[in-house]
Amino acid sequence: MQISIRNLTKSFGSTPVLHSISLEIRDGELFFLLGPSGCGKTTLLRLIAGFYPPDNGDIRFGDRDVSAVPPHQRNAGMVFQSYALWPHMTVAENVAYGLDVRNVPPAERNNRVREALAMVRMEELAARSPNQLSGGQQQRVALARALVIRPDVLLLDEPLSNLDARLRLEMRDEIRRLHSELKLTTVYVTHDQKEALSLADRMAVLKGGVVEQLADPRTVYRRPSSRFVADFIGEANWLEGEIVRADADAVVIRTGLGEFASTPRVGLRPSMPVWLGIRPEALHAGGAELNRFDAELHQTNYLGEIEEYVLQAGGTTFKCFVQNPELALAAGTRLKVSVRPDDLLVLPR
């Protein structure tokens, strides 16, 4: 089911929340809405669900305009951050709730509940109450309750935020598996960048009620449209720079640490002031002469699979991630570090 959002605007009182949002979410896509608190992502999800009416614009499920359709008539399954399970009902009764509201006959209802619980691997716990379940199990029940109605679209509102780190990873795998099996158009709200990068087919990064960038995860991470997007999706070291040369062969940027060469980019021209960004994992000790500069190790933070170096160079602090570190380096060690041209972020300022 394709979801089309056109010129959607929403305010609460005198406070504007969404500013003329337009999006096309493809049939069967796992689509993420992400951004900082207050950016409008949850409001947009609730507009899609029908919990809020839009001030302007429209929402379509396929060819059907659902802008004024109440939530229970949109055939959208919703999974809330808080799970929202009834404590006085069993797991099976919670899952069956949406079918009871729709007056589904008992025999069909029971079959569909068993089917939904099997999807999330919870059929053996059907008779338990929610307070006898772990957080991950409760989240699976919430997913089963959303899926049992056989929705046209599935809406997930920060579904993993209440889980610990290990359970979040497990549930990511479950959501990926379910989406792969069901091919259900899914809109997923989160502020967790790793969640979005690891799961999304495409994502929209929101800021202040507008879409800053809409693209697949790799493009958003490696070619962010703005410094805001680059800082929100991961980490970056920044230098002020100016374009010296921009042609079909390369872009050359002058900075306080010298000149850096990047691969060709659209929209850059000589004398343009820019931000030059370097992801911590893109900095390498040694390497080629190109894009190489001297730095001094100020601090190390050992994190197991990586070691974080805090470097000083030309009055600027840099972070550098070293994979699978073996030897600890002492503070004050002098290093030559470099970055590949294709790994540089070059953004107007």
Q: What are the boundaries of each domain within the chain? A: 3-228, 235-348
Query: What is the distance between the alpha carbons of residues 109 and 213, in angstroms, rounded to a whole number?
Result: 42
Task: Decide if pLDDT at 274 tops 80.
Answer: yes
Choose which CATH entry (2.40.340.10, 3.30.390.30, 3.40.30.10, 3.40.50.300) describes domain 3-228: 3.40.50.300
pLDDT tens profile 289-311 = 889 999 999 999 988 888 999 99
Q: How much is the pLDDT for 303?
A: 86
Name the pLDDT band for 114 (thresholds 50, 70, 90): very high
The pLDDT > 90 percentage for the chain reads 74
Task: Decide if pLDDT at 168 tops 90.
Answer: no
Q: What is the pTM of this model?
A: 0.91
Name the pLDDT band for 160 (thresholds 50, 70, 90): confident
Name the pLDDT band for 174 (thresholds 50, 70, 90): confident
Query: What is the distance between the alpha carbons of residues 270 and 233, in angstroms, rounded to a whole number?
Result: 28
Structure tokens at 50: 């029908």
Choose which CATH entry (3.60.15.10, 1.10.357.10, 3.90.330.10, 2.40.50.140) describes domain 235-348: 2.40.50.140
Q: How much is the pLDDT for 170?
A: 86
Q: Would you say how long the chain is, in residues?
A: 349
Task: Decide if pLDDT at 327 tops 80.
Answer: no
Task: Decide if pLDDT at 63 tops 80.
Answer: yes
Q: How much is the pLDDT for 328?
A: 79
Residue of higher predicted confidence among 6 and 329? 6
Task: Decide if pLDDT at 287 tops 80.
Answer: no
Task: Decide if pLDDT at 272 tops 90.
Answer: yes
Q: How much is the pLDDT for 219?
A: 97
Which 3-state string (H, E, C) describes the chain?
A: CCEEEEEEEEEECCEEEEEEEEEEECCCCEEEEECCCCCCHHHHHHHHHCCCCCCEEEEEECCEECCCCCHHHCCEEEECCCCCCCCCCCHHHHHHHHHHHCCCCHHHHHHHHHHHHHHCCCHHHCCCCHHHCCHHHHHHHHHHHHHCCCCCEEEEECCCCCCCHHHHHHHHHHHHHHHHHHCCEEEEEECCHHHHHHHCCEEEEEECCEEEEEECHHHHHHCCCCHHHHHHCCCCEEEEEEEEEECCCCEEEEECCEEEEECCCCCCCCCCEEEEEECHHHCEECCCCCCEEEEEEEEEEECCCEEEEEEEECCEEEEEEEECCCCCCCCCCEEEEECCHHHEEEEEC
Name the pLDDT band for 226 (thresholds 50, 70, 90): very high
Query: What is the distance between the alpha carbons of residues 234 and 220, in angstroms, rounded to a whole number?
Result: 10
Q: How much is the pLDDT for 345?
A: 96
Q: How much is the pLDDT for 80?
A: 87
pLDDT tens profile 188-207 = 999 889 999 999 999 999 99
Query: What is the distance between the alpha carbons of residues 83 and 130, in angstroms, rounded to a whole number?
Result: 10
CB atoms within 10 A of CB 156: 24
Q: Which of 330, 344, 256, 346 is nearest to 293 (CA)?
A: 256
